[in-house]
Structure formats: structure tokens, C-alpha cells
Amino acid sequence: MTGFSGIAIILNRFFHIPIGLSTILLNLPVALLCYRQIGRSFLLKSIRCMVISSLFIDYFAPLFPFYTGSRLLAALVTGILGGIGYAVIYTRGSSTGGTDFLIMALKSMKPHLRLGTIAFSVDIGIILMGGWLFRDFDGIIYGMLVNYLFAAMVDKVFYGINSGKLAFIVTKHGKGFRVL
């Protein structure tokens, strides 16, 4: 798990703080810090999603059986489905809070960067910290796989599968210009 949910899992493991509650508590200062960059509408929609997802994590997720199958299969499915889900949330002008606030604030300052790339970069540190604290070095590899797939799916859904970049150069000094 990455983002503030990953930090909340670490806090839960060491201090037995409910994951959803610690996610909300971690979000408050970051939301206030990023408010000017992300805007009121995005913040309010995100707070709604954050509260709903935190309640699901603390009250509904424990009702489901714990998956004990292949970690590779779990990583693949989590990365793909999680990326699609987050892309849908992002396209609705919302997020589930946490590092999403940082990601969107960075995106507003650097609009040329892709959301998935920013998310991947932000979450690497949390994956490394969790793997080191839990002494789960295979978990680092699976976490990086999830994070990569997540970022790729966010970009594919958010920007389109066949998206590309185009640049027009307008100049008076075009003499001798060749297309390679």
C-alpha cells in the first residue's frame, strides 16, 4: 500500500491505531497546506471521498476474508484495478486525500508532468520505508510493481490509451530546419 494509507498501515502495525482514522488525521495538515493549489471544490469532494474510503477501510474491509494467495497476482490486480479506480476519481475532480493532495498540487504547479509519474515518484519513499520497517524486501518489489502498474493505469485512463505529446514551434528563424 502506498500513500497515506501505507503510512497508516505502518502506524497500525506499531501502535494499533485504526487505519481509516489515522488516514484522516494525516490528511488534515496536508489538505490545509495544499488548499490554495488544489482549490475549494477539489478539496471538498476529496474530503467526502476520504471519509467514505476511511470508513470502508475500518468497518467494511474487516468483514471480507483475508487473501492468502499469490502475492504476485495480488500485486498485478491491485495495481491495475487501483489505477483504474483512482483515474476515475481523478476525472471526477476528486481524490481520496493524502498524497493525492500533494500530487494534484504538484500537477497544478507543473502541468506538463503526468499524474501517474508524479504519483509513482511520491509513493516510492513510502514503499521503501514500509519494506524496511517490516523487513519485507519482497514486499518492496511487489510494492514497486503495484506502484508502476497503478501509475501506468492512471495515465492510460486519465489521458487515453493512445495519448502522446505534441509541440508546435513557432519562429521567425526557421531557415535550415529539418524534420528528422
Reported as a pLDDT band with limits 50, 70 and 90, residue 176 is: low
Reported as a pLDDT band with limits 50, 70 and 90, residue 174 is: low
* pLDDT tens figures, 62-90: 899 988 999 999 999 999 999 999 899 88
The residue assigned the cell 493532495 is 101
pLDDT of residue 24: 85
pLDDT of residue 112: 86
Q: Mean pLDDT throughout 153-176?
A: 77
pLDDT of residue 114: 87
Q: Mean pLDDT throughout 34-44?
A: 85
Identify the weakest region by mean pLDDT among 48-52, 114-118, 161-165.
Answer: 161-165
pLDDT of residue 148: 95
Reported as a pLDDT band with limits 50, 70 and 90, residue 100 is: confident
Rounded to two decimals, what is the model's pTM? 0.76
